Amino acid sequence: MRITAAVLETAGGPFALRDVDLGEPRPDEVLVRLGGTGICGTDLEFATFFPTPAVLGHEGAGVVERVGAQVTSVAPGDRVAMSFTSCGRCPTCRTGSPAYCHAFDAVNFSGRRPDGSSALSLDGAEINGHFLGQSSFATHAVVPERAVVPVGDAVDLTVAGPFGCGFQTGAGGVFNVLRPEAGSSIAVFGAGAVGVAAIIAAAVSGCGVVAAVDVNAAKLEAARSYGATHVVNSAATGAAAALREIAPHGFDHVIDTTGRQDVLRTAVEALGPLGRCGVIGVGPSPEMSFDWRSVLNGRTITGIIAGSSVPQVFLPKLLDLHAAGRFPVDRMMTAFPFEKINEAVAAVRAGEVAKAVLTF
Ligand SMILES: [Zn+2]
Ligand SMILES: [Zn+2]
């Protein structure tokens, strides 16, 4: 079928709305008509080097239009959010940790299905897609059944998409991995969309101290409204000293959403003995370094992908919290019509919007 997709024609370049051919769903795939899709930092990062032409986008939600013969979990007309995909056959998939699928990169970031094919063609030639299982910067997407999550009829499709990546990543790092005790302390580094999701999850978990660290005063002010009990503007003050004042014995938990070496070091050193650092951000630094003695006292540093979640289990829980008003992430969303994708990307890059969502 003929669809409209935002095609990245050259790495780093703008997106161009093009007529693209989308193949039929295979037996284990689902055709989804998009209702909304978030724009995530990962899209912008990959847009700088991904082999082109390509269709990116991976925070989509929509309505199922057709399903392959083997699909049993959704039917045409069902509303779904989409998330990452996984192979389903490797040891970590088999033991319930698809976020750590042995084939994660191959099935999510190769631009192709595992057999090398693509559902997307431009001017008669296959192009890269299947980005994080989705390629949701398009009116329609062909998605593996493993990447779709039924969300029910009450869920707003313009809001649901980012639950499949950014919000799941931030909230899952807290709910699924760190699991802070009520009354414990946590510091969240980076108060963007992912950090805010972690802050809300920490507040919902009953953390006594929820410190938000960022260089952007407006984001920190917003973080307070989402449940941060303390904010540290690391552009204005030494973060390490400020954090020591907030938690003199060190934090029980910290989360880094920035992927920056200097921030990670500050985060690890802000921990108390036996404290745990969740590393969930993909950022500019290829390495992290710290004084090895700083981890001798029982501190743990753990990498976390996609909130360590099983999307079909975790997303409905998050969406229920949202429906109850306890995970109010829609407050940080700014909607743009799909056709304005380049304006939306510019607004994200300029830090003007916390979470851009494209509507169809
Ligand atoms: Zn797997
Ligand atoms: Zn993402």
The sign one gets for the Cα dihedral 85, 88, 94, 100 is: negative
d(CA 320, CA 26): 31
Distance 145 CA to ligand 1 centre (A): 14
Distance 311 CA to ligand 1 centre (A): 14
- So what's the pLDDT on residue 290? 85
CA dihedral 238, 243, 245, 246 (to 10 degrees): 140
Distance 147 CA to ligand 2 centre (A): 14
Ligand nearest, relative to CA of residue 169:
2
C-beta of residue 279 within 8 angstroms of C-beta of residue 302? yes
- So what's the pLDDT on residue 291? 87
d(CA 112, CA 182): 44
Ligand nearest, relative to CA of residue 105:
1
Ligand nearest, relative to CA of residue 168:
2
The sign one gets for the Cα dihedral 53, 54, 55, 59 is: negative
- Tokens (6 digits) for 191: 């108060």
Q: Is the pTM of this model over 0.85?
A: yes
- So what's the pLDDT on residue 230? 98
Distance 335 CA to ligand 2 centre (A): 17
Tell me the mean pLDDT per 10 residues along the chain, length 360: 97 96 98 97 93 97 98 98 97 98 97 96 97 97 98 94 95 98 98 96 98 96 97 93 97 96 95 97 84 91 97 97 96 97 95 94
- Tokens (6 digits) for 310: 């099983």
Distance 20 CA to ligand 2 centre (A): 23
Distance 109 CA to ligand 1 centre (A): 14
Distance 4 CA to ligand 1 centre (A): 31
Ligand nearest, relative to CA of residue 44:
2
- So what's the pLDDT on residue 358? 98
Ligand nearest, relative to CA of residue 197:
2
Distance 146 CA to ligand 1 centre (A): 11
Distance 88 CA to ligand 2 centre (A): 21
CA distances, 207 to each of 171, 220, 231 (Å): 14, 18, 15
Distance 99 CA to ligand 1 centre (A): 8
Strand pairing category for 185-189 and 209-214: parallel
